[in-house]
Amino acid sequence: MSILIKNGTVVNEDGMHKEDVLINDGIIVAVGKNLDAPENCRVVDAADKLVMPGGIDPHTHMQLPFMGEVAVDDFYSGTRAALAGGTTMIIDFVIPAKDSTPIEAYKTWRGWADPKVCCDYALSMAITTWNDKIRDEMTEVTKPEYGINSFKFFLAYSGMFMVRDEEFYQGMIHCSKIGALARVHAENGSVIAEKAKALLAQGVTGPEGHTQSRPEELEAEATNRACVMASQANCPLYVVHVMSKGAARAISYHRSKGAIIFGEPIAAGLGTDGHHYYDKDWLHAARYVMSPPLSRDKSTPEALMDLLAAGELHLTATDNCTFNCHQKELGRSDFTKIPNGVNGVEDRMAVVWHKGVNAGKIDPMRFVQITSSTAAKIFNLYPRKGRIAVGSDADIVIWNPNDTKIISKSTHHHACDFNIFEGMEVRGFAETTISRGKVVWENNELHVEAGAGKFIPAEPFCPYVFSSVPHRAKMMAPRMVVREHERVAEITMNQEI
């Protein structure tokens, strides 16, 4: 099955040129000017359009069991929605329950995802408790037959997923040893739990309590702590869902000191803000409950986009974790019981384009970086993913930068019954999406098949992330002073930290 995309402008992270793209059997086989169509080849006209690597969303939670509920976007509806928005790959999180193990949970997630995914996917894994078995299974799942190369630690959700600092530190030391990237949900979960109790005792039971129990300082503090601990563990760190200026500043500060840290703002944090939590309509406010909360500082979304433009933050995701209104209702009399999470996987590309490119903050090449190629590099999938080049997978979005659309629950492809971007008009959207060399979205219609996507294993020791780690290990090696016969010598011990 061949497709020739003609007359478009091919945009990669490092250049944009008017070129055609020829696809055969799921792979890009030629990129160049005036390519001829082979026999039986479908020609897609992309005049006035941009031909870009399909989006990679490195942070989703399809059908996640969480807070007593299960997220309504499963691997079918979630990946359909992704494709309708121009995203051709997701990286979802395996989150073992405290009494489960990484391998058990991995099998569960593969069992859920493989028969349902409509686009390619990879897995990242959360570490929710710490012991020798967990450590050994972490090592095991980084082997090619499992294909995990990143682990996430929660510093929030006390009593559920949260790990203690010493567990987080040991976990990162192990990540560094096995060549896996550490990822962190950075909020001070202990203080949040205390503040939530106090607010409820004072009668603040509505969604405004959610944001008041999680002041931005608690995100900034945990982000700073995570960065310090990652440096001490000599482990590259990826901070998921950076929601506040303070957290972004902490990342920037530690990077300025040479730490290997990546910061991920999400569509929700770039596209809207936390004023909704004070809405008089309880359900309206509850729909936006996620953690860390949307910032109550109205200038935050623009500031986060500026930091993406400046290279202080590095890539965008969504944290897509959707719950319907009746699920949000479970917290009607206690905000701590509102399932946390919002949509984003369908709208991320359009929201980032609108708030970034149309606002004049980023150009299309930076757009490709922050929606696709940087994720491919960080997770060791580049240039198979994240690039329009000969030999790369034919995961492509043909982008219409000129027309507008209005985001709405009535037209979205999510399984959830509301959309946090409801009514937002965006100029620029995915007109056609090609996944694994097949047109899966065109003329506002999806042509997808459950299970057509494939699991993409990710290898550890990604050079983009890990190249300086061994040198840092040498610099950080413990030093011992040998004192003999009044002669004092300083030696460097040749051992790992």
Applying CB under 6 A, the site for ligand URP has a residue count of 8
- Can you give the binding site for Zn ion, defined by CB under 5 A? 185, 276, 279, 319
Q: Whole-angstrom Cα distance, residue 91 to residue 68? A: 23
Task: Please give the Cα distance from 260 to 319 (Å, whole number).
Answer: 22
123 binds ligand URP (CB under 6 A): no
Residue nearest to ligand URP (CB): 340
C-beta of 142 vs 291, nearer to ligand URP: 291
DSSP assignment string, 207-230: HHHHHHTS-HHHHHHHHHHHHHHH
User: Rounded to whole angstroms, how far apart are CA atoms 307 and 337?
Assistant: 33
Residue 17-56 contact track with ligand URP, rule CB under 6 A, x = bound? ----------------------------------------
Instruction: Draw the binding track, 361-400, toward ligand URP (x: CB under 6 A; -: no contact).
Output: ----------------------------------------
Among residues 340, 343, 371, 433, the one that binds ligand URP under rule CB under 6 A: 340
If contact means CB under 5 to 8 A according to the sort of partner, which of ligand URP, Zn ion, none does residue 340 touch? ligand URP
**List 19, 120, 273, 319, residue binding ligand URP (CB under 6 A):** 319
Shortest distance, CB of residue 400 to Zn ion, whole angstroms?
29
CB closer to Zn ion out of 116 and 185: 185
How far, CA to CA in Å, does 317 sit from each of 7, 52, 132, 159, 348?
30, 17, 32, 26, 7
Tell which residue, 389, 460, 482, has the closest CA to residue 51: 389
We find the least distance from the C-beta atom of residue 212 to ligand URP, in angstroms, to be 16
**Hey, what are 417's tokens?**
């019954």
Q: Which of 452, 199, 225 is nearest to 336 (CA)?
A: 199
Q: Which two tokens stand for residue 63?
A: 């059908």
Task: Retrieve residue 156's tokens.
Answer: 């929030």
- Which residues, other chains included, contact 311 with Cβ-Cβ below 8 Å and sequence gap of 6+? none
291 binds ligand URP (CB under 6 A): yes
The smaller minimum CB distance to ligand URP, of residues 61 and 177, is found at 61
279 binds, among ligand URP, Zn ion, none (CB under 5 to 8 A by kind): Zn ion
Residues forming a β-bridge with 50: 9, 399
The residue (of 219 and 395) whose beta carbon lies closer to Zn ion is 219
Residue 341 in the binding site for ligand URP (CB under 6 A): yes
* Rounded (10°) angle between helices 165-178 and 216-232: 50
Binding site for ligand URP (CB under 6 A): 61, 185, 290-291, 319, 321, 340-341
